[in-house]
Amino acid sequence: MRTPKAAETPHRALLWCGANPGIPAFASPKPTMTILPIKKYPEPILRKKSEEVKEVTPEIKKLIEEMIETMLKNNGIGLAAPQVGVSKRIIVAATQKDPLVFINPKILRKSKETELGEEGCLSFPGLYLKIKRPKFVEVGALDINGKKIRFETKELLSKSPVNERYPTGVILSRIIQHETDHLDGILIIDRISFWQRWKIRKTSKFTQVGPVSN
Ligand SMILES: [Zn+2]
């Protein structure tokens, strides 16, 4: 596993499923928490469409807590349940305040404006790709108490220190899109060009990245 080049380029680290060493408020996980093993590409679960959560049971809440701890322990800023081997529609995202939880997230609206940004993924250690995505999104989901929420990333910009820290200001939007993709079995290697994929096969350990998969 290649570690991120954080020391060389500290502000490069807009890495949602990847390490983000520059954010001090990411506390160390509590010692009693279970840290779940992360599924790495090409494990088949990463390609499966995840199932809706019918009810937010105590088991689901426990899974969410463990996902958050696992994300923080791995210096991630986002994580989807399939990445810890659970094919359910749950994602978590880190901010400098409380982590955000989205159960059965659905992207309701996307801004026309797009932005190219670098993404990493805990399921692809060491791989960082430039991916174009809508700059802002609106998401519908359930919160950890099973309550319906609507969430617009644009509104959160001024409130989220994650975004204040990085001038691009679209990290949270990108995290949500990246993690929601995971729930449909879509990975960062599906969001790049044929030629970028070819380069990955030739130059990284991910030699199984196919020519076209979306
Ligand atoms: Zn990922």
| 107 lies in some domain | yes
| 212 lies in some domain | no
24-55 burial, b if ≥16 CB within 10 A, otherwise e?
eebeebeeeeeebebbebbeebbeeebeebee
Q: How far is the CA of 18 from the centre of ligand 1 (A)?
A: 8
Q: How far is the CA of 213 from the centre of ligand 1 (A)?
A: 16
Q: How far is the CA of 119 from the centre of ligand 1 (A)?
A: 8
How many structural domains compose the chain?
1
- Of the residues 69, 119, 138, 179, which is catalytic? 179
Nearest CA to 53 out of 82, 76, 78, 33 is that of 82
Q: How far is the CA of 15 from the centre of ligand 1 (A)?
A: 9
Catalytic residue list contains 179: yes
CATH at 135: 3.90.45.10
Segments forming the whole domain that contains residue 130:
10-203
DSSP per residue over 67-79, as a string? Answer: HHHHHHHTT-SEE
Q: Six-digit token pair at 71? A: 């994300």
pTM for this predicted structure: 0.81
Residues in the chain, how many? Answer: 214
Tens digit of each residue's pLDDT (9 = 90 or more) over 150-190: 988 765 544 444 444 443 345 788 999 999 999 999 999 99
| 46 lies in some domain | yes
| 76 lies in some domain | yes
Tens digit of each residue's pLDDT (9 = 90 or more) over 73-116: 998 889 999 999 999 999 999 876 778 999 999 999 999 999 88
Tens digit of each residue's pLDDT (9 = 90 or more) over 23-57: 333 445 555 678 999 999 999 999 999 999 999 99
| 88 lies in some domain | yes
